[in-house]
Amino acid sequence: MSLILVITTILFSILFGCAALAISFFMQRRYELDYVKSYFYHQILIFLFGFYGLLGTIITHYLLIDIEIKGEILKHLFSFLPFIGVPFMIAAWYMFIKISFELIEKNLSLKFTIWFFIILLLVFLVFGFLVPFINYFMVDQKQINTHVFLFFIVIELVTLIIVFANYFIFSKNLKDKHKLRFIKFFALVNVLLYAISVVFLLKGEKDFLFISGYTMLYFFKDIIPLLILNRYLNKNYVHPVNIVSGDTRESFIEKFSISKRETEIVNEIILGRSNKEISDRLFISLQTVKDHIHNIYLKTGIKNRVQLTNLIRQFEAK
C-alpha cells in the first residue's frame, strides 16, 4: 500500500466531505425547505460514517501494517472500525429516504420510521456480535478486503429501491411538471453516481487503488446532486416573505385593471416561474406570455419582475 496513495485518499476525501457539508449548510440557511434541511443532516451523517468507517480503517490498516503488528487483535480491530460508523450510516439512510418523501411532497409515516430503526438496529447488534468471529481483512496481503462493506451494500440497496421508487414512480402525482422533470433528472444523476461507486467497491476486492477511488467517491458523490438542487432552487424557490396574500393581489389587480389572464400570469411571476414554465402551466405560447407581461409592465409602469413584486407588496402596506 503506497503511503502517497493513502495520504492522497485521506486529504481528498476530507476535502470533498467538507465541500459537501459547506454546500448543504449554506443551502439550508438560504432555502427554508424541509428536504434541504434533511439533506444537510444527511451530509453530516455521511461524513461521520466516512470518517470512522472508511478513513479510520485505512489509516489504522496502514499504520499497523507499517510497524508490522500481527495477530487476532489486529484482525478484530480492522473489523470493528467500520462497525463504529454503522449507527451514523443507518441514520444517513433514513434521512436519504426522508429527503425523497419530502421532495415529492409526501409524508413519511411514523410506523415506517419505527420499523426502519428497529430492524436495522437489530441487524447492527447481530453484526457487532459476529465481528470477532469473522476475518474481514486479509492482513497478510496488506490490502483491505471489502467483505465488511457487503453488509452496507445490501441495506443500502433496499434504501435506494425505496428512494428511487419515490422519484421515478410515486412522483407522478406532482402537479408541478417542471419540478417533476427536475426530480427525474436529479434521480438519474444519483443513480449514475451510486452505480460508479459500487463498481469501485467491487473492484476493490483485489486492488487497493479502487478502494481509494471508492472512498474519495463516497465523499464526493453528493456534491454534484447538491449543486444541481441548488441551481434548481435558485431559479424556482420563493422565500416565504415574498409570498403575497390574496387580498393584496386583489387590490393590485383592481387598481391597474389587470385582466383575468394577466392575473394568472402575475400569480405565476410571484411564485418565481420563468416565462417557459408559465407557458407550460397555462397552456399558452411563449410569445403570448411575453405579450401579457409586456402589457402588465405598461399598465403598472414598471420594468421587471422584482419591481412588480415590490409594487404588489406596497398594497399590503396600505
Give the pLDDT confidence of 51-91 residue by residue, as tens digits: 876 666 666 665 555 445 445 555 555 555 556 677 888 89
3-state secondary structure of 65: helix
C-alpha to C-alpha distance for 281 and 266, rounded to whole angstroms: 13
C-alpha to C-alpha distance for 116 and 242, rounded to whole angstroms: 38
C-alpha to C-alpha distance for 227 and 32, rounded to whole angstroms: 17
Predicted TM-score of the model (pTM): 0.68
- Regarding whether 313 and 192 lie in a shared domain, the answer is no
Give the pLDDT confidence of 129-188 residue by residue, as tens digits: 655 555 544 444 344 444 555 666 677 788 999 999 999 999 988 877 888 999 999 999
Please determine, for residue 43, whether its predicted confidence score (pLDDT) is greater than 90.
yes
Domain-ending residue, one of 188, 209, 236: 236
- Regarding whether 97 and 52 lie in a shared domain, the answer is yes
Question: What CATH number corresponds to the domain at position 265?
Answer: 1.10.10.10
CA dihedral sign, ordered 78, 84, 90, 92: negative
Q: Which three cell numbers stand for residue 51?
A: 470518517
Q: Report CA-CA distances (Å) from 222 to 72, 246, 280, 307.
A: 37, 39, 31, 36
3-state secondary structure of 138: strand
Give one DSSP letter per residue of 11-46, joined into a string: HHHHHHHHHHHHHHHHHHHH---HHHHHHHHHHHHH
- Regarding whether 251 and 216 lie in a shared domain, the answer is no
